[in-house]
Chain A
Amino acid sequence: MLNFEEELKKFRPSLEIEDAEEIIYNQDIDDMSDVLVKLLKEAKAESDTAKRSKE
């Protein structure tokens, strides 16, 4: 037997046209490449920091 209240929670209001601009600006469109670039930058920054501390 379905729980109506629980099922109802699965339904979200549909996005209206007035919200379109906000959605476009706030949408996270980062892909795997962006993530990898960030990771590499962070790794490089960490290694630079470690070198400086040894010196």
Chain B
Amino acid sequence: MATTRKKLESLSNRYYNEGLEKATVRDMTGAVEALHQSLKLNKYNIDARNLLGLVYYETGEAVPALSEWVISKNLQPEDNLADSYMDMVRSNPGQFDNINQTIKKFNIALNYCHQDSLDLAVIQLKKVLSLNPGFIKAHLLLALLYLKNGNWDRAKIESQKALKLDTGNLLAKRYLKEADSMLLPGESGKLVSDVASSENDEVIRYNSGNEMIIQPVKKSAIARSNSIWGILLGIVLGVAVACFLILPQRIQSINSKNQEKIAQISEESDSKSAQIVAYEQQIASLKEEIDALGATVTEYEGVDSTSAAMNSLMKAVNIYMEDPQNYEGMGEALANIDLDVIKGDVSAEFTSLYDYLMSNVGPQLAKSYYNTGYEAYKNDDFETAITNLSKAYQYDNTNVNTLYYLGNAYNDSGDTDKAKEIFDAVVTQFPDTKSAAAAETKLAEINNSNG
């Protein structure tokens, strides 16, 4: 049994050496196979197990790597390199978390593939590879998706990247072969997709090693000038078409629209004119109506004023009968009676009663109004003076001073026409008085100043 064990250990070591050699040249697939064989022959081959973990870790498979190291540590607790490997992972939790995230994202991408969401899968795989560029399975799946989409150049690049990480990877070799078969034979580096897009001759894409170079096509000055002439010719043709075909039609349509508008406006204008004539007739008839109503109102006003004057007179008489000395109350009652206005409308009885009252209380009322008006005149309050002196003259037309100061009040207030009228009355009604002489002087002054 011991001999057999030694033979098995020897064979295991041979596979381990083979695996080590393959791992040295980055043939990860071959290394994994050899190391698995080694461990099948001798599970206690700690070096083989630790190396298998390292190979797994290098290809982006962190969990199988950790599993191998944990088992290794379990089989040989002392003096085991797995300790240092696990310490390395533990001391760099950020990197380990990063690797774990890439694994999760890869699984999501694979799920997208199964759900036929290939575009999302491509995006996800690109994220995975940006986080962990050594994840071989992600490169391979991305290459397969590119092959499916017809992106042969990109599929080739991803396959080459996978082969660079794992030189013995059969899938990568197959995908590379598939991509290569879609490239044009004999034109190294030039791709089918480039040929498909070469009709516009805008860019040339080619591979230099693992890098894809995209280069704009250089055009000669003649070719550029040709394109400029082509653009200019196109502009000229466009303008010509606009001038000869589009513009006349456009102008005609605008003209017809304008004519329609003019016709519409003239119709509206006619209807407005007819309306204006109707309104004018209506205004004329309304004016006539207003005049008629105004005449009616005047008649009613006359009636009102006469009626009011009668009421005022009766009120004044009533005050006189109650208290003959109440000149102030009688003055207020008679203040609203203007004999000039109601002269033709009142009865003889009214005039007789008014004259009777005036003969009894007129001089006293006149004296009261005269005193107030004179004081106002002295104080240059000509408006009050004119009102009161006019009342005083109304109640007693025998006092020459009342009329004279009334003329002065008009004259000093600037109403020279009325002043002349009053002064004429002074001269006419009270000749040979001092006031008449003074009034004549005033008249002369007024005439001189006007002349």
The residues of A with any CB-CB pair to B shorter than 8 Å are 1-2, 4, 7-8, 10-11, 13-17, 19-20, 23-24, 27, 29-34, 36
A33 touches B5 (CB 8 A): yes
Instruction: State how many angstroms separate the Cβ of B396 from the closest Cβ of chain A.
Output: 131
Task: Known contacts A8-B144, A30-B43, A33-B5; decide if A19 and B63 are in contact (CB<8 Å).
Answer: yes
Task: Known contacts A24-B70, A27-B67; decide if A11 and B137 are in contact (CB<8 Å).
Answer: yes
A2 touches B63 (CB 8 A): no
In the complex, the 6 A-B pairs of residues with the closest C-beta atoms, listed nearest first: A15-B63, A31-B43, A13-B107, A14-B103, A4-B148, A32-B41
Task: Known contacts A7-B144, A23-B64, A32-B8; decide if A16 and B104 are in contact (CB<8 Å).
Answer: yes
Task: Known contacts A10-B171, A20-B67; decide if A33 and B8 are in contact (CB<8 Å).
Answer: yes
Interface string of B23-62 (1 = CB under 8 A from A): 0000000000000000111111000000000000000111
Interface positions, chain B 414-428, Cβ under 8 Å from A, are none
Interface of B is mostly: helix
The residues of B with any CB-CB pair to A shorter than 8 Å are 4-5, 8, 12, 39-44, 60-64, 66-67, 70-71, 100, 103-104, 106-107, 110, 113-114, 137, 140-141, 144, 147-148, 171, 174-175, 178
A24 touches B144 (CB 8 A): no
CB-defined contacts of B43 to chain A, threshold 8 Å: 29-31, 33-34
Instruction: State how many angstroms separate the Cβ of B2 from the closest Cβ of chain A.
Output: 11
Task: Known contacts A10-B171, A32-B40; decide if A23 and B62 are in contact (CB<8 Å).
Answer: no
Instruction: State how many angstroms separate the Cβ of B209 from the closest Cβ of chain A.
Output: 25
Partner of B63 from the list A4, A23, A31 (CB cut-off 8 Å) is A23
CB-defined contacts of A13 to chain B, threshold 8 Å: 106-107, 110
B8 touches A14 (CB 8 A): no
CA distance A17 to B103 in the complex (A): 9
**Supplied contacts A2-B147, A31-B8, 6 more A-B pairs, CB within 8 Å:** A2-B144, A2-B175, A11-B110, A13-B106, A14-B106, A17-B100
CB-defined contacts of A16 to chain B, threshold 8 Å: 63, 100, 103-104, 107
CB-defined contacts of B67 to chain A, threshold 8 Å: 20, 23-24, 27
Partner of B71 from the list A14, A29, A33 (CB cut-off 8 Å) is A29
Partner of A17 from the list B39, B62, B147, B148 (CB cut-off 8 Å) is B62
A15 touches B140 (CB 8 A): no
Instruction: State how many angstroms separate the Cβ of A47 from the closest Cβ of chain B.
Output: 17
